Chains A and B, each alone.
Chain A
Amino acid sequence: MIAVQGLVFDYPGTRALDEVSFSLEAKTITALVGPNGAGKTTLLRCLAGLDTPFAGQVNVAGLDVLSEPRQSHRRMGFLADTFGLYDELSVEQCLLYRAAALGLPASEQAAAARLSARRLVLDDRYKQKVGTLSRGLRQRLAIAETIVHHPEVLLLDEPASGLDPEARIALAETLRHLRDEGMTIMVSSHILSELEDYSTHMLILRAGRLVDQRAVAAPSGGGAVVLRLAVNDVRFESLLKAESGIAGLIVEGLTSRFRFAGDDVARALLLRRLVEAGLPVADFAIERERLQEAYLTGVGETAVAP
């Protein structure tokens, strides 16, 4: 859905993005992480077609963003870290304006505006002047404006900054919902706990370079499987190795960790076969890799790389 190739962005005397290349699959939520000044905002602005890179290509939803910026904007949404709203307009007028400006046909604008308000739970504020909204409500309206045309790709730069815990939880829920509806989402933040709840992938930038790109959890909620036995069994490792779909097997005493390519039903069948084979299974659980661990692992691998 998003393909970036050899992206270079320069400021005089400073290379903000250095040969960044990656691709993102559809219907994923990618956490774009890295320290301050790593190039996260620059990367998002290049993806959104707001800044022109020195070199490289950006392809979003099948369109070359650099040569077709306006068509690309019909298919993506971008929310900057510092955004503004028209305080004198009502929530409805803001959404109608964005729907029209993003190229929705006149006959669909009202319905799209109403739907977007409903998604962000702004129905009851529909006729209210924007200038009277609280910070959290303004943030929700900004997101509602960004998705009013139901983009295929959504780019969010620090969307939760300034939100209270309740609003952050609501934001995470909204993002998961949008992903389930088919959107591909990239969210930038340097606060990993914000991204923990909804990210399926992680992209680490450091000093303008792509340090790591990895899946942090399967979209279904899967991850590494941890299997612990009640007592030792010499067949433990061999039985697991005989199973198809198991990769990255590590056995340490009574505990094994492995990745398993299968859905919930396949995992249930695996557990059944192991139990029927006589293994004294005490625990069988999904261990979701925490974003912070993944980030530190990614950074650490780069740090030791020559």
Chain B
Amino acid sequence: MNPELRRNLWLQFSILRLILPPAAIGIVLLLVWLVSAHSLTAVAASAEWFYLLIILLWGTRRAADLVAEEIAGGTWDSQRMSALGAWQMTWGKFIGGVSYVWYAAGIAFIARLWAIGLAGRLPWQGEAAVQSLQLLGIGLLGQAVAFLTSLVLLRKQVMRRRLGVTLSQFAGLAASAAASGHLDLGLLFRQMPVIDWFGWSFPGAEFALGTLGLFLAWSLFGSYRLMRIELQFRSIPWAWTAFALFMMVYAEGLLYTPLRKVADGLAAWLIGPFTIAIVLTYAALFLEPKDVVRYRGLWAALRAGHASRASTLLPQWLPVYLIAAALGVALTAVGGLSELTGVPSLVGSGLSVAEYAAAAGLRVLPVALVLYLLRDGLVVLYFNFGKRRGRADLAAFICLLLGYFPLIGILVSLGITALIPIVAPYPPASPLITVGAPLIECLILGVLVLNRTRAAGRFKAVAA
């Protein structure tokens, strides 16, 4: 047996803990059956609520706490010193850590199936079977996302354990809510009888279930990759790029038919992946730790010509950014967003799409977006390479947020829209300014980031 799984089972189970859940759930469901005039539907509904409460509130908390409690207990280093592989550690910790939650939830789940069966429906057929799988899936997905988020925060060294655990649990609950239909994505799928994906039609509920399964697999795979890093395996950071490529294909499938109503030719193929690449570059920029020493190591390896060493030090955002850049250039080459027809004005300037196209700013907008993305990335690095790194991401986020929203509003209100390109893409400006403004900012920020990198390499004497 996986030693990590066995250790967790030792910690989780005892005779008393084995007896408690069936006794408690059994008594409450018996009460429901009695007060509802022997309604099996009421019993099934209550059992489902029990299941959801246990699996979501308790389960996501447990999953979020799995690594955090090792750190707080001082046992994480000894775990990292073990000879277990990353996958062994991942599944042993994940399954073992939430095993007792699933034991309790499993009793509620079986009670639900039993009540449905007694009520005359076959729980393993048709819609009931899909619903049951969905219930199991949202529990697993929520816990997997909570576990994944805790590993992401661990790399970012969020030392305040409770906050880190709460954030991770919140991420897990959000994922479960999305998959269960309480957030847009799931709601969309479950309410739509048919999903159009690359022109093929799929039943909505089954498509939602398949989507849930895919994201569950990605969450566990992400946890495994992060565990590899924790266990000091040297590896090329390709997982985020692979996820980005998956998301491009997945999203393009959903956008395939709608986009072809507003765009033609190659542009219709490029817009979706381009948007995904931009979003996931931003996500990686904020989710990844940005250790200046690591970036110096990357630079040193590149200068020394150590390609394999350099490849292991690459930040996750960089390959996805390069994909975004390539897609942006390609999109501009095929006519940019001027190929779009029938969409309302983009920046609230009151100009029609035709006027955007006429101004030609829209054609170069993809390239400009790529440059603004690079500028924002450099802002994030600039804050992280400074002396106060504790809240660097938050400071960079606030800085960008202030730039994009209030500042643009102020400039528009004052009627000085000519200055907007300093802050954000503004297609009505000339192509030269649309591209030139972020380019100049990138150069300035590049120098500032370089200076901070060099400063981090000038050492003071070690405290003795």
Contacts and interface: CB of A to CB of B under 8 A. Distances in A.
Nearest to A35: B464
A12 B389 contact: yes
A88 B462 contact: no
Contact of B459 (A14, A71, A74): A14
A10 B459 CA distance: 9
Contacts of A52: 232
A207 B461 contact: yes
Contacts of A38: 462, 464
A13 interface: yes
A37 B463 contact: yes
A102 B462 contact: no
B293 A10 contact: yes
A48 interface: yes
Contacts of A97: 3, 6-7, 10
B85 A86 contact: no
A100 B464 contact: no
Contacts of A39: 462
Contacts of A66: 232, 234
Contact of B83 (A10, A37, A50, A103): A103
A51 B11 CA distance: 29
B78 A12 contact: no
A98 B80 CA distance: 12
B22 interface: no
B380 to A, nearest CB: 16
B74 interface: yes
Contact of A101 (B4, B76, B291): B4
B296 interface: yes
A52 to B, nearest CB: 7
A206 interface: yes
Given A38-B462, A85-B75, A13 B387 contact: yes
Interface string A62-87: 00001101110110011010111110
A84 B73 contact: yes
A15 B462 contact: yes
A12 B74 contact: no
Given A50-B80, A102-B83, A13 B459 contact: yes
B462 A100 contact: no
A37 B7 contact: no
Interface string A44-55: 000011101011
Given A83-B78, A93-B10, A15 B459 contact: yes
Interface string A7-44: 00011111110000000000000000001111100000
* Size range of the chain B interface in the assembly: 35 or more
A208 interface: yes
B310 to A, nearest CB: 13
Interface of A: prevailing SS = loop
Interface in B71-119: 73-85
Nearest to A13: B456
Interface string B256-300: 000000000000000000000000000000000001110011001
B296 A54 contact: yes
Contact of A50 (B10, B232, B455): B232
Nearest to B70: A84
A145 interface: yes
A50 B74 contact: no
Contacts of A16: 462
A107 B7 CA distance: 18
B82 A101 contact: yes
A36 B84 CA distance: 33
Contacts of A71: 83
Contact of A70 (B231, B293, B297, B459): B231
Contacts of B233: 69-70
B460 interface: yes
29 contacts: A10-B293, A10-B296, A12-B456, A35-B464, A37-B462, A37-B464, A38-B462, A38-B464, A49-B81, A49-B232, A50-B81, A54-B296, A54-B297, A66-B232, A66-B234, A73-B81, A74-B83, A80-B74, A80-B78, A84-B76, A86-B7, A89-B10, A97-B7, A101-B3, A101-B4, A101-B82, A102-B82, A207-B461, A207-B462
Q: In the A-B complex, list the 5 residue pairs whose CB atoms are closest, starting with the nearest.
A: A84-B74, A100-B3, A101-B82, A103-B83, A84-B75
